[in-house]
Every structure is written in structure tokens, then in C-alpha cells.
Copies of this chain bind each other. A is one copy, B any other.
Amino acid sequence: MTIDKNTKILIVGLGVIGGGYAAALTEKGYTVGCITKEQKDIDYALEKGMISFGTTEVDEATVSWADLIVFALYPTVFIDWIEKYQRYFKPGTLITDVTGVKGSVVSRVQSMLRPDVEFISAHPMAGRERSGVEYSDPGVFKGANYIVTPTEKNSDEAIETCKNLGKILGFARISVLSPDKHDEMIAFLSQLTHCIAVTLMTCNEAEGLEKYTGDSFRDLTRIAKINDAMWSELFLMNKDALLREMDAFINEFESLRQMLIDGDREGMRAMMRRSTERRSLFDKPA
């Protein structure tokens, strides 16, 4: 399938990311329905003009209405949903997701999925510290990265459609990675950073520190406000890759610690110069 203005798009799970998708797609003139748990979230999205309709019930009429379905659920909830409701899909439906880990999710969904429906997985690398549809904002996709993670089970057409969805949503850079490469990358760039922020926030409980803080501490702990249900699930689903990155970080940190003990000023300076040079690669494109 290709996405055009007649394509009927269903969002399953109207949280901060699902809501952002809904708002961006409606704004671009697409017809967007949604299924989500809470009526209040549907009421909010209708009032804000983010969706055309919504329901809290998973029923065949709604599911089979859609040509393209985006699952914006926690990984385990997504897998359960497919198991339970995939019988409702219309033949030829294309489904995609926004899940933050891929290895275990993509293979499980693809292996149980009906052969007349295709699942092409993707990860929008944009989030917010708050959860809930009322914090959704399609503006966070601008300048952000969108990663499609196909397997050998995917058609070229579905990969193209999924990349096109990323473009329509407004992402700045669309990439393609295998699920395993994705998980390795995400363990470092996203999961390790969250582990560090949470640790930094909890390793010193002295009172009154906020009176003296500068911007560097605030920056390093912005993501320490964290959705514990979702992130604990993401960490556990990517345990091996995340442990490898945690160990690499600890090793490097210990070597800095040793240089400090040894008074090895030149060693510390060399590490800082490597850091400074490498960081310039990561500046946000203007």
C-alpha cells in the first residue's frame, strides 16, 4: 500500500507518542481514528481536533476500518493485543509500531501474525519526560530521527511506506537498521543514558542540593523523571545489550577514577580532548 489522502489510519494507544502521531497526521489532512483505554483521552483528542473518532472497545468494525494501524503501546501490551485481536484485521492491512526495543518484539509479532497482514516496525526517536496524550506534541518530531527496522519478512513496498510515514510525520532523518543493530544502538544512546540519569539522581540524597545546582546537573538529570512502568519493561526486554553498554561505561569510568587517584593529569586531559572532539559529531543539525 501507499499512503494517500484516502488512507484510513488507526492509532492504538493514545499516549504521548500516539497522540503526537494522531495530531501530526490529522493536521496533514489524513483521517485518523483511535482505540485507547480511557474515554477521557478520546474526549481530549476530539476536543483538540487530533482525531476523527475514538473508541475504548476493540471491535471488528473499528479495526477492519483501517488500512494502516500504528501501535503505540508498551511492548508486552502490543504483543498481547496482536494475539487477541488480529482476527479483526482487514486483509492487506499494514501495521507498524513505535516500540523502543525491537529484537524480541518484531520477531514475536511477525512469527504469530496472519500471512495476509504485514508488520513493519519503526522507532520514532522523540519523546517527552511526561506521559499522557495531554503532553503530546507533534513538534518534537521536527529535527528528530526515525528508524525503520525491517526483517527478511518485510516487503520493499512496506519499508517504503513506513519511511514515507516518517516523512509525513515531519522527522528530519529517516534511517533503516536491523532490529538487532537497533537494539544495540538504543542500549547505548537511550537506555544507558536513562540508567545514568536515574543513578545520578538517587546516589546522593543530601538535602538542599537544589539551592546550588547549575545547568549541567539539570541537563544530566532531565530524563531522571521517568515512566517507571515503561522503562523497566524496555530495560528488561533489552537486557543483554544494555548490560554490555553498562559494563563498557563502568570500565571507562573506572579508568578515569584511576587516573584521578594517580594524579595522571595528562591522561585525564587526553580523555577530555577525545570527548570534546567526539561530541562535536553529535551537535544538532542547524
**Complex Cα distance A157/B141, Å?**
54
Q: How many residues of A contact B (CB 8 A)?
A: 88
A248 touching B204, Cβ below 8 Å:
yes
Question: In the complex, which of the residues B175, B194, B201, B242 contacts A279, with contact meaning CB atoms closer than 8 Å?
Answer: B201
Chain B residues positioned under 8 Å from A278 (CB to CB): 201-202, 205, 224
* CB closest chain-B residue, reference A211: B175
Chain B residues positioned under 8 Å from A126 (CB to CB): 214-215
A274 touching B236, Cβ below 8 Å:
no
| Interface-central residue, A205, A243, A254, A276, by most chain B CB under 10 Å | A276
Within A193-226, the residues touching B (CB, 8 Å) are 193-206, 209-226
Chain B residues positioned under 8 Å from A1 (CB to CB): none
Chain B residues positioned under 8 Å from A251 (CB to CB): 203
A217-B253 contact in complex given A202-B275, A248-B203, A275-B202, C-beta closer than 8 Å: no
A236 touching B221, Cβ below 8 Å:
no
B260 touching A242, Cβ below 8 Å:
yes
Question: In the complex, which of the residues B217, B224, B279 contacts A193, with contact meaning CB atoms closer than 8 Å?
Answer: B217
Interface window among A12-20, A78-86, A112-120, A227-235: A227-235
**Complex Cα distance A263/B239, Å?**
9
Within 8 Å of chain B (Cβ to Cβ): is A173? Answer: yes
**Complex Cα distance A200/B195, Å?**
12
Interface window among A24-32, A59-67, A182-190: A182-190
Chain B residues positioned under 8 Å from A3 (CB to CB): none
Chain B residues positioned under 8 Å from A103 (CB to CB): none
Chain B residues positioned under 8 Å from A247 (CB to CB): 257
A243-B225 contact in complex given A175-B211, A203-B251, A210-B282, C-beta closer than 8 Å: no
Chain B residues positioned under 8 Å from A46 (CB to CB): none
B250 touching A253, Cβ below 8 Å:
yes
**Complex Cα distance A185/B211, Å?**
10
Nearest first, the 10 closest Cβ-Cβ pairs linking A and B are A228-B272, A203-B252, A228-B269, A125-B214, A201-B275, A198-B275, A224-B279, A232-B268, A224-B275, A199-B253
Query: Chain A residues in contact with chain B, CB under 8 A?
Result: 125-127, 144-145, 147, 173, 175, 177, 185-186, 188-190, 192-206, 209-226, 228-229, 231-233, 235-236, 239, 242-243, 245-254, 256-257, 260-261, 263, 265, 268-276, 278-282, 284
Q: List 28 A-B contacts (CB under 8 A).
A: A126-B214, A144-B215, A177-B212, A188-B209, A189-B214, A196-B196, A196-B253, A197-B220, A199-B249, A200-B249, A202-B252, A202-B274, A210-B282, A216-B222, A218-B284, A219-B219, A219-B223, A221-B282, A224-B276, A226-B275, A228-B272, A232-B265, A232-B268, A235-B268, A239-B260, A242-B260, A243-B260, A250-B254
